[in-house]
């Protein structure tokens, strides 16, 4: 399987604190990769480096390489906004824009790039909400506030918003941590359906979730990538003792 994102000697810092330490990882195309590990191990920082969101934090910096289709996204002349268009992100808590309707939430990114054609906007809203498995639930209420729907629906709205600009990669930072089991199941089913179209990377504190939906799993500890491989192998026959201890609940 081809690799969509490859990191080489990736280090990330918050001021003098090193959060990511020399991470080399290959993210396969059109698959779900889960990143697991205890709190504070660098999971979220790692994916924020994959679309240059890390650098928006004051005092944060990155060195090493992050290759997207073979091109370093931190290379000279690379436009960070374009990187974030190609590599979308969904955060831990649903964050629809509260002053915008469902419709306007979906097309916010397109409008920022100057798209004004109502036909394109209408088509994008329907396409993106269908991809996010939300269209049938909100199609008669698109003028309602983005925060008027349930938490699970809000998170799918945020996924639709990310998909509207037609990214190639979708990064999700613990997207189900604030959701109930029913809403979580809907998000998991959605991600499983989306992997044929997108490369998906999900940070999760829920090892059962990783085992259910991920094709590949990376285990991180104290900023280092300890082990990466096919999910079944990671959970049933890990190579590293530290991985086995975490998987079996002996720490973390």
The string of pLDDT tens digits covering residues 166-210 is: 999 999 999 999 899 999 999 999 999 999 999 999 999 999 999
pLDDT for the residue 1: 67
**Domain ranges within the chain, ordered by starting residue:** 3-95+169-247
pLDDT tens-digit map of 112-148: 889 999 999 999 999 999 999 999 999 999 999 999 9
Residue 232: predicted pLDDT = 97
Tens of pLDDT, residues 50-109: 999 999 999 999 999 999 999 999 999 999 999 999 999 999 999 999 999 999 999 999
Q: Is residue 180 within 8 Å of 94, Cβ to Cβ?
A: no
How many Å apart are CA 119 and CA 174, to the nearest integer? 34
Q: Please, how many CA atoms are within 13 Å of residue 30, restricted to the half-sphere of its CB?
A: 4
- Tens digits of residue pLDDT in 41-64: 999 999 999 999 999 999 999 999
Q: Mean pLDDT across the stretch 218-242?
A: 97
Size of the chain in residues: 252
CATH fold of 3-95+169-247 reads: Rossmann fold (3.40.50)
Kindly state the average pLDDT of the residues 23-32. 98
Q: How high is the pLDDT of residue 26?
A: 98
* d(C-alpha 198, C-alpha 175), whole Å: 17
Residues 6+ apart with CB under 8 A from 204: 34, 35, 36, 174, 176, 210
C-alpha 100/C-alpha 97 separation (Å) is: 6
Please tell me the predicted confidence (pLDDT) of residue 32. Answer: 98
């Amino acid at each position: 399987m081809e690799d969509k994102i490859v990191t080489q000697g990736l280090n990330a810092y918050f001021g003098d604190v090193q959060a990511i330490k020399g991470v080399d990882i290959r993210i396969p195309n059109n698959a779900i990769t889960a990143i697991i590990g205890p709190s504070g191990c660098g999971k979220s920082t790692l994916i924020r480096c994959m679309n240059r969101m890390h650098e928006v934090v004051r005092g944060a910096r990155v060195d090493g390489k992050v290759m997207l289709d073979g091109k370093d996204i931190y290379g000279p002349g690379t436009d960070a906004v374009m990187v974030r268009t190609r590599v979308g992100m969904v955060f831990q808590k649903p964050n629809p824009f509260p002053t915008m309707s469902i419709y306007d939430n979906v097309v916010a990114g397109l409008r920022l790039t100057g798209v004004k054609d109502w036909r394109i906007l209408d088509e994008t809203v329907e396409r993106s909400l269908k991809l996010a498995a939300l269209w049938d639930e909100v199609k008669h209420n698109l003028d309602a506030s983005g925060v008027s729907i349930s938490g699970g629906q809000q998170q799918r709205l945020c996924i639709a918003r990310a998909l509207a600009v037609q990214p190639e990669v979708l990064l999700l930072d613990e997207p189900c941590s604030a959701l109930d089991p029913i809403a979580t199941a809907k998000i998991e089913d959605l991600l499983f359906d989306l992997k044929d179209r997108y490369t998906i990377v999900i940070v999760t504190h829920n090892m059962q979730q990783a085992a259910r939906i991920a094709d590949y799993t990376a285990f991180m500890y104290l900023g280092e990538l300890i082990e990466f491989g096919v999910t079944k192998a990671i959970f049933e026959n890990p190579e590293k003792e530290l991985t086995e201890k975490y998987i079996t609940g002996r720490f973390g």
